[in-house]
Amino acid sequence: MLSNAAMAAGPLSVPDGPTSQGPDVARQKFLEELKEKEKETGRYDLNSDAGAPKAVAKPAATFELKEVRFGVSAQLSAAELQAVVAPYIGTQVGYADLLKIRNEVNALYQKKQILSSRADVRPQKIVAGVVFVDIVEGRLSKVKVTGNTYTREQYVADVVPFATNDLINSGVLKDRANNFRISGVASVEANLVPGANVGETDIVLAVQESKRFQATVFVNNEASDSVGQNQGGVSLVYNAPLGINDKLSAYASGSQGSFYNSVGYAIPLGMRGTLLRTSFSSSSSSVVAGPYRYFDVKGNSSTNQLGLTQLLVTAEDWDLSGNADWSQIKSQNTVSGFGLSDTLTDLQAIGLNGTLRYTNRVLNASVTHNSGTVTGKPLPASSASSSQVSGGWLESFSPGHYVYFKAFVQQASQAVMPSAMGMSLGGAGTVRGYALGAVTGDEGHYANVEWHYPVMKGLNAFLLYDTGSTGTKGLAKTELSSVGAGVDWSWNNKAQVNLTYATPQKVVTTNQEPYRLTARLNWSF
């Protein structure tokens, strides 16, 4: 250990640094070597010693640290920097301690998600216990967009909110890149790479786009028994018609006694994770089976909907979003040509949705509050509200081998809810051992558990258990449950086939079938 007398006798060199060069020359040489290292690796390593002059084996020298002078920082305050060095001032330190100071400063940048800035301890001579720490804060040089085929380049470039020569806040950049994917059309990865000159940083925006035109035709026997189980339809998607991550979609399906069609459009509003949604749908139905088929029962409805989705928190492994929706439903029902009902329902909904992602696990949950007003005949105007909670859990063990659980609960404000706000059980998606809409009610719940196992490439078998109950608020609920099995088969990412066999465990309707066997074929183009 060197004494104070030795310190006073002359300057002390940082062990890893050259002693034959002036401080400015040494600093420039060190930064140039660091820049070359950045170009080789294509990324920044805040705490790497690579690029610094190689250490010469010699006894570790120490000295009393009197002061640390930092370069100018626009991203860290003087108080933050002094808080780092305070524990070291007045103590005996060596080069390893100086690297600790450097790393602690870089940790402050990382905590603020500022990845293009860093502190460096340059080769220097220590005079009177004063150490100089360089601050290199990356400034934007240029933005490059790659991978886009139909998304406008300027739209992608708007992910970067910084002008040339601006300091780069990596946290802000990361949030905007996450917000970019809100519509599900395309995603972007923002990469920081060294610029042409020392202290410059380029941003490369790598775009991944969904297939622009998507079409799926399908046939299945999952429709309601009363309008004919067998149905077919088509789903169409046109991604980015304006080249700005917007989406246009259309859907149509029909069975012997029913027809349904819808068209929707979604467009992001800026880069703050806001998505505006609008849709229109209409349907018509005629009872063709069951005890009411002789009474010429018909129905028509149309729905206008406007919605807003806002990403509230986005991260690599979880996100939280809020939704607000307004819809208006017009419906008419006739029996043997005579009007049975003619109503107008206004609905409002507000909710939160969250998703948590692990390597082999995905959790999601949502909570929604609905309110509605119904006017028209034959009943007087009325208002009602309901609250819904739903969630899912997917646990993956290996490719194709997983367990999936989902649940849904609805609580109603009153008995005899408007039909648009009620719930029904039975059929695909709820309790599969029963016909679609076998029982209806104001409130209730259902849950599904599936265990999937790969049989061979493209073929997956599964076991299922469903349970649920629903009924009028304040009265006993009708309980349902079913068990079953099925297979999923896919070919060349174009054809998907699902076969599901489920048996009901409780009798809840007259003429209830002992099992339900459903088949579904989707063909994508």
Q: CATH number of the domain that 188 lies in?
A: 3.10.20.310
Asked whether residue 252 is domain-assigned, the answer is yes
28 beta partners: none
Which residues are within 8 A (CB) of 27 and not within 5 positions of it... i.e. 6 or more apart?
122, 123, 124, 134
Do 163 and 61 fall within a single domain?
A: no
CA angle at 397 for the pair 391 and 403, rounded to the nearest 5°: 35
Asked whether residue 348 is domain-assigned, the answer is no
Per-residue confidence (pLDDT) for residue 511, from 0 to 100 = 87
Determine the distance from the C-alpha atom of residue 487 to the mean position of all C-alpha atoms in its chain, rounded to a whole number: 29
pTM of the model: 0.80
Which residues are within 8 A (CB) of 147 and not within 5 positions of it... i.e. 6 or more apart?
206, 207, 208, 209
Residue recorded with tokens 């989707």: 522
Q: Kindly report the length of the chain.
A: 525
Do 132 and 144 fall within a single domain?
A: no
**pLDDT digit string (tens) for the chain, length 525 residues:** 333 333 333 333 344 433 333 434 444 444 454 455 444 444 434 344 444 444 333 445 899 999 999 999 999 999 999 999 999 999 999 999 999 999 999 999 988 888 888 999 988 999 999 999 999 888 899 999 999 999 999 999 999 999 998 988 888 898 899 999 888 899 999 999 988 887 889 999 999 999 999 999 999 999 999 999 999 999 999 999 999 999 999 999 999 999 999 999 999 999 999 999 999 999 999 999 988 888 999 999 999 999 999 999 988 789 999 999 999 999 999 999 898 999 999 999 999 999 999 999 999 999 999 999 999 988 888 999 999 999 999 999 999 999 999 999 999 999 888 888 999 999 999 999 999 999 999 999 999 999 999 999 999 999 999 999 999 998 999 999 999 999 999 998 899 999 999 999 999 998 899 999 999 999 999
Do 174 and 297 fall within a single domain?
A: no
Asked whether residue 15 is domain-assigned, the answer is yes
Of the candidates 257, 210, 250, the residue with the CA atom closest to the CA atom of residue 234: 250
Do 78 and 156 fall within a single domain?
A: no
Do 46 and 71 fall within a single domain?
A: yes
Do 509 and 385 fall within a single domain?
A: yes
Asked whether residue 31 is domain-assigned, the answer is yes
**3-class SS of residue 7:** helix
Per-residue confidence (pLDDT) for residue 502, from 0 to 100 = 98
Q: CATH number of the domain that 480 lies in?
A: 2.40.160.50
Do 76 and 127 fall within a single domain?
A: yes
Q: At what angle do helices 78-85 and 95-111 cross, to 10 degrees?
A: 140
Per-residue confidence (pLDDT) for residue 25, from 0 to 100 = 44
- Alpha-carbon distance 211 to 214, whole Å? 7
Q: How many domains does the chain have?
A: 4
CB-count exposure of residue 319 (10 Å: 0-12, 13-18, 19+): buried
Asked whether residue 36 is domain-assigned, the answer is yes
Do 285 and 380 fall within a single domain?
A: no
Do 237 and 122 fall within a single domain?
A: no
Pairing of strands 361-377, 338-357: antiparallel
Q: What is the DSSP string of 175-228?
A: HHHHHTTTTSSEEEEEEEEE-SSTTEEEEEEEEEE--SEEEEEEEES-S-GGG-
Per-residue confidence (pLDDT) for residue 492, from 0 to 100 = 87
Per-residue confidence (pLDDT) for residue 377, from 0 to 100 = 87
Which residue among 187, 209, 231 closes a domain? 209
Report how far apart, in Å, the C-alpha atoms of 316 and of each of 175, 269, 358 are.
Answer: 10, 22, 10
Which residue among 103, 136, 169 closes a domain? 136
Q: What is the DSSP string of 300-311?
A: EEEEEEEEEEEE
Do 429 and 511 fall within a single domain?
A: yes
Per-residue confidence (pLDDT) for residue 147, from 0 to 100 = 96
* Range(s) of the domain holding residue 229: 211-304+327-336
Per-residue confidence (pLDDT) for residue 314, from 0 to 100 = 83
Asked whether residue 311 is domain-assigned, the answer is no
Per-residue confidence (pLDDT) for residue 22, from 0 to 100 = 40
Do 205 and 234 fall within a single domain?
A: no
Contact present, 218 and 522 (Cβ < 8 Å): yes
Asked whether residue 347 is domain-assigned, the answer is no
Do 158 and 240 fall within a single domain?
A: no
Contact present, 255 and 231 (Cβ < 8 Å): yes
Asked whether residue 313 is domain-assigned, the answer is no
